[in-house]
Amino acid sequence: MSRRKLFAEMLKDAKEQNFGYIGKGNIEAKILVIGKEIATPETDTETLNEYRDNLKQWERDIDKDVWDIPLRDRSKYSPVCPYKGQYMKRDDGQGNWGTSRTWLLYQKLHNYIFGASYNRINFHKNFFITEQNDNPSPKAKDAKTDGLAERKHFIKNSEYFQSFPIVVLAGLGYYKISETHNDIEDMFGVKFTEKKIVDDNEKQCYWTHWNENKTKLVINVRQLSMNVSDNLIAQIASEIAEIDCDLTEEEADVNESAKKRWENGGKEIHTKHQEVGEEFENADEYKDYMTWVRVSPNKVLGELFKIT
């Protein structure tokens, strides 16, 4: 069964079991990132409503892709590509279209894996992200965990979540590990392999887990939101990139085409997004935006752009 069909089946199961939050990003991605919980204050009702309506949003948008989502239009929010157009900088609360500290680190991990230097947040193109705890809380220490066991059970028994070859558990504390039981091994059908310490710093470490035939890697690391070094992110990325996450040759060709088109003087935005009214200052900005309007490697760039 295809990943998209597995996802559709999971939506049905989630609805029956009253799970409102599924996740965000590319349904067919190879990389699953599981955080602790969404860090949102109770006063941010817009974000909380987006979170609580996640399952309904997926029922509406399951057949959509990145190019269907408007740029910088929160009124048309979609879990396929949430807050599309955010920049690689901290949100200042004044409409600068920055992002959270956690998403900055997710993007940094993405950039290291794919050998890229995107200036916008676009990790959703290659990641699917969800949370282990579906109770939002501005601080992890104050989060309610009453539904944690049920959510672990749901992820363990979901064919969709189990279909990811790469899983990053970005948050310690929610997985019980002892001499007689290991939640991570139990949930994902893997075995603990090694604890790795970066730069001889015990606080900068991660744990690897593999399945028997080495087709599934699960990495457990501290929450990607604070006190995480660039070297730690880079080393985790190198573990992942060695599996099967390189950009395909076709995608690389698309990137090269973007550069050439800019050099030939093309500045016109994709016709679907002309209402944005932006022009690009340089080739990097043009190439960066193109990562959103590019639908998939098997689409021809000429079908997406009309360059004058």
Question: 242-288, pLDDT tens digit by residue?
Answer: 885 443 333 444 445 444 544 444 444 343 333 333 445 555 555 55
Ranges of residues in the chain with a pLDDT under 50 are 245-255, 257-259, 261-279, 293-308
Shared domain for 212 and 278, answered yes or no, is no
Count up the domains in the chain and report the number.
2
**Domain co-membership, 51 together with 189:** yes
Residues 258 and 178 in one domain: no
Do residues 96 and 46 both lie within one domain?
yes
The verdict on 299 and 231 lying in the same domain is: no
Residue 131 to residue 157: CA distance in whole angstroms: 16
Q: Which of 226, 244, 262 is the last residue of a domain?
A: 244
Q: Are residues 14 and 75 in the same domain?
A: yes
Residue 72: the pLDDT is 77
Specify the CATH number for the domain of residue 24: 3.40.470
Q: Give yes or no: residues 234 and 260 share one domain.
A: no
Same domain, 236 and 262: no
Question: Is the same domain home to 214 and 79?
Answer: yes
151 and 211 part of one domain: yes
- Supply the range of the domain harboring residue 295: 249-304
Q: What would the two tokens of residue 81 be? A: 């590509």
Of the three residues 228, 244, 260, the one that is the final residue of a domain is 244
Q: Do residues 153 and 23 both lie within one domain?
A: yes
**Nearest in space to 81 (alpha carbons), one of 299, 295, 272:** 295
Same domain, 120 and 262: no
